[in-house]
Structure 1
Amino acid sequence: MIADRAARFARVLMLFAALLALGGCAGMFGSNPLRVNVAGIEPLEGQGMEMRFILKLRVQNPNDAPVDFNGVSVELDLNGKPFASGVSDQSGTVPRFGETVIGVPLTVPAFTVVRQAFAFADSAQSGQLPYVLRGRLAGGVTGGTRFIDQGTLSLPTGNLSGL
C-alpha cells in the first residue's frame, strides 16, 4: 500500500515536471531575437603595437520576458577579414521590452593593424568599409543568445590633407 502510493506520487511528480518543461519551451518558441547594435567605441591604452577599445553594445529585448546574461564575447570583421575580438564577464539583465548597454574590451593584434591599414587604403576609394559583428550573450537556460550585426561604415571623403 505504501509502495503503491509512493509510485503514484512519483508518476504525478514526473507528469508535473514534464508539464513545466513543456510550458517553458512553449514560451521560448514565440520569442523574438535580441537586437544588438554598436552604440560607441572608445580607445583604451594598448600594449606594444596592439590597439585596444571599449566597444559599447546596445542590446534591445523585444520580448515579454527579461533576458539574464553573465558574460559576452564578440568578434569584429572589417572588409571581410577578422579585425578584433573581446570578452567580458559582465553580468546583468536586459529588461522585458527594454534595453541595456554593455561594454566589451576589444583587442586588435599588431599584425591585423598593418593588414587593415592596407585594406583601408583600398576601401577609401569606394568610401565604404563593410563590417560584421558576431557575438554571444552567455547565460540562461539555453546557454546563451547569439547575435550578429552588419553594415558599412562611411569613410571620410574629399581631401584629407585639410587644404
Structure 2
Amino acid sequence: MSSLRHLLLCCLLLLGLSACASFTERDPLRIDLAGLEPLPGQGMEMRFLLKLRVQNPNDEVISYNGVALDLTVNGQPLASGVSDQRGEVPRFGESLIEVPLTISAFSAFRQAWGLSSRPPLEGLPYVLSGKLGGGLWGTRRFNDSGTLNLPAPLSQPRT
C-alpha cells in the first residue's frame, strides 16, 4: 500500500512538473495603430473604429475571444473600447483587429482643460493598454506608448 502511494505521488509530481514546463516565456505582442475612422455617437460622446495591427513574434498561434483596450493621453484617461470578436493571430504573423472606441464628453473636456492650462512643450505622452481575451491561461496583455506631436500653431511665423 505504501509503495502504491509513493508511485501515485511520483506520478502527480511528474505531471505537475510537465505542466509548469508548458508555460514557456513568450515574446510580447507588437501593436500598431493602423487606422481610425469616425462612427456615429450618442449625445455628446465621440466614437471611432480603431484598427490595430497585432504582430505575433512567437512560434504559436494566438487565439482570442474578445478585446479590451484603454487609451491614456497626457496622464489622463481619454478613451476605452471593447469588442466580443473572435479570431487568431498566426504564428510569426499579423492580424488587423477593429475595436469601437468611445471618448466621453467629460474625458474630452478634461483633455482640453489640461491643454489650455499647461500646453505641452514636446508633445503629448500616450499609453495604449489592452488585452486579447483567451480564457484563464490564454489572455495576452499588451502595451504601447509614445508621444503624440501636435502641429505648430498657425499664428507662429514660418521660418
The answer to whether TM tops 0.5 is: yes
Task: Give 2:109's aligned residue.
Answer: 114
TM-score calculated relative to the size of structure 1:
0.80
Structure 1 range deviating more: 55-64 or 28-37: 28-37
Task: Give 1:67's aligned residue.
Answer: 62
Q: Deviations over 1:72-125 (max 9, x none)?
A: 000000110000101000110000000001011011111111111222345655
TM-score calculated relative to the size of structure 2:
0.81
Task: Give 1:54's aligned residue.
Answer: 49
Task: Give 2:91's aligned residue.
Answer: 96
Q: 1:66 to 1:144 in 2, by over 3 A?
A: same
Where in structure 2 are there 5+ consecutive unaligned residues? none
Structure 1 range deviating more: 71-80 or 32-41: 32-41
Write the distance in 1 (CA, Å) between the matches of 2:131 and 2:103: 19
How far does residue 65 in structure 1 lie from its aligned partner after superposition? 0.7
RMSD (CA atoms): 3.0
Where in structure 1 are there 5+ consecutive unaligned residues? 1-6
Q: 1:27 to 1:38 in 2, by over 3 A?
A: farther
Q: 1:160 to 1:65 in 2, by over 3 A?
A: farther
What percent of counterpart residues are identical? 53
Task: Give 1:28's aligned residue.
Answer: 23
Paired residues, number:
154
How far does residue 25 in structure 1 lie from its aligned partner after superposition? 4.3
- Taking the TM superposition and a 5 Å limit, the aligned residue runs for 1:148-163 are 148-159=143-154
Q: 1:104 to 1:154 in 2, by over 3 A?
A: same
